Amino acid sequence: MSRKPRLGCLHAHHSNIGYIEDIIPQGTLEAVHFVEPGLLRRIGSDVGFSREDASEQVRKQLDWIVACGVDALLITCTNYIAAMADEPSQYGIPVVKIDEPFFAYLMQQPARHLLLFSNPDTVEGAMQRLQAYAAARDMPPQIEVEVIPNTFNLFLSGQTEAYNRAVAER
């Protein structure tokens, strides 16, 4: 019997595990979750922690995950993705940055778009990535950005229902 393919998932918060598990067709692959909140905290609060420091930490994390025998990588944190080098994968396995399928979908949609964020610290990195993605395809997006106030702390503290309600009410 052959083993199921293993998807190594790098998250900044444990609550992302459920979202990923919910979208994986049952029995198709094994998701191996790695949760590392420290980098996100350093990026948002340590002025001495440079982009190069963040990039090196992400590389170390990905090296570790790949060494655990995964067949593909999924990165679910926008700040982690923004800290990664935009170059072909050195790992010899697929590396999926969770925002890229969304960007592709967004570029196919007509009119202006409102992007809602709950974490203000992810706006800059996400928008830089979206702009670069769109520019590489010569498709300038018409985007408006809004941060939903007082929601990210709900998310971080595990108040998922309150978080989802606040986002849905927006």
Whether 170 has a pLDDT exceeding 60, the answer reads yes
- Residue 110 makes CB contacts below 8 A (sequence gap 6+) with none
Q: Which domains does the chain have, with CATH numbers?
A: 1-97 (3.40.50.1860), 99-170 (no CATH)
Q: Give kind and range of the element (H or E) at residue 75.
A: strand 72-75
| pLDDT digit string, tens, across residues 75-131 | 998 888 988 877 667 899 999 999 999 999 998 888 788 999 998 888 988 899 899
Q: Are 129 and 81 in contact (CB under 8 A)?
A: yes
* DSSP symbol at 46: -
Please write the tens of the pLDDT for every residue from 14-23. Answer: 888 998 999 9
What's the mean pLDDT in 33-58? Answer: 88
- Predicted TM-score of the model (pTM): 0.83
Output the pLDDT for position 89.
77
Residue 74: pLDDT band (50, 70, 90) is very high
